[in-house]
Amino acid sequence: MSTTILFTIISLCAIGSIAAIILYFAAQKFKVFEDPRIDQVEEILPAANCGGCGYPGCRGFADAMVKADDLSPFFCPVGGNETMAQAAEILGKAVEAKDPLVAVIRCSGSPTHRERVNTYDGASSCTITSGLYSGETGCQYGCHGLGDCVDVCDFDAIYMDEETGLPVVIDDKCTACGACVKACPNVIIELRKKNKKDRKIFVSCVNHDKGGVAKKACKVACIGCSKCVKVCPHDAITMDNFLAYIDPNKCKLCRKCVIECPTGAILEINFPPKKVKTETQEIPKVKAPKAETPANPVGEKDSKENDNNKNQEG
């Protein structure tokens, strides 16, 4: 009995050793060389694994950058220009700085502006609601207000406003990863260029209905009047299917379109209030009247009296 057990143990050890040797040579034969720079680049990345770069995680992004000859298509929205500059230094390649982006909510349809026509009773998900029907209001394009964008944000950069029922972006926390953009079924969230002092001008509406229908559904909807297009001196505004759009790369923040919009669909964010010019009435200048010379000046009267006295003495 003991001999059988001993033989079994020896046989298993021999088979295991032979299998290990075979696996070792197979691994050496088919091993894939991995560039050590991938680990170096991955180490400087923020490890958010948010997918904002377009790759499945920071490891995949680092691998793609190492293999690429040109870094211009690559950008880490969380790390920003500083992280990209460090990666370029490791890889010995050039990279251009890009304008930072921030998410904006292109819908102002609060209960004050957009009347509810029914009540939804179902799963608390914008995606599910959008698939079932057009929503609780007359605008089928606006925000459903169920917070899918909040759920997918890993940086706590967005929250739902209880009063308006709309999402609000915290610009200082937003990394422009794009997760909220992908999560919104009505595509009301957009990544736009972050200007100096975080000033933004954009059309806060995505309604493509004609003016009358859009205005009936929401008081602050874009009605496609094209007034903003006509006053823009930089050709930054285009009209597509009854909806105006402001190109953030062409817009110079002159605010002429904001004043012209009849419904208030164009928002200006983080601007100082405009100074109201008061018309000053010019007071007409009244010329002072010339002083009239007396008919008989004092000096002349005295001289005549002196002459009379001299004549009497003579």
Tens digit of pLDDT per residue, the chain (314 long)? 578 888 888 888 999 999 999 988 888 777 777 789 999 999 999 998 888 888 989 999 999 999 999 999 999 999 999 999 999 999 999 999 998 999 999 999 999 999 988 888 888 999 999 998 888 999 999 999 999 999 999 999 999 999 999 999 999 999 999 999 999 999 999 999 998 889 999 999 999 999 999 999 999 999 999 999 999 999 999 999 999 999 999 999 999 999 999 999 999 999 988 776 555 545 555 455 555 555 554 444 445 455 554 444 44
Residue where one domain finishes, among candidates 26, 59, 91 = 91
DSSP string, 259-313: HH-SS--EEEESPPPPPPPPPPPPPPPPPPPPPPPPSS-HHHHHHHHHHHHHHHH
Report if residue 302 sits inside a domain. no
The pTM (predicted TM-score) of the whole model is 0.73
Phi, psi of 286 (to 5 degrees): -100, 120
Q: 160 and 193 share a domain? A: yes
Q: 135 and 226 share a domain? A: yes
- Say how far apart CA 146 and CA 125 lie, in whole Å: 6
Q: 153 and 53 share a domain? A: no
Query: How many separate domains does the chain show?
Result: 2
CATH at residue 216:
3.30.70.20
CATH at residue 59:
1.10.15.40
Q: 168 and 224 share a domain? A: yes
Q: 202 and 265 share a domain? A: yes
The token pair that represents 123 in the structure block: 């799963």
Report if residue 19 sits inside a domain. no
Report if residue 196 sits inside a domain. yes
Report if residue 313 sits inside a domain. no
Q: 175 and 203 share a domain? A: yes
- Alpha-carbon distances, residue 245 vs 46, 106, 145, 268, 271 (angstroms): 33, 11, 23, 14, 20
- Say how far apart CA 240 and CA 234 lie, in whole Å: 18
Q: What is the residue range of 157's domain? A: 101-269
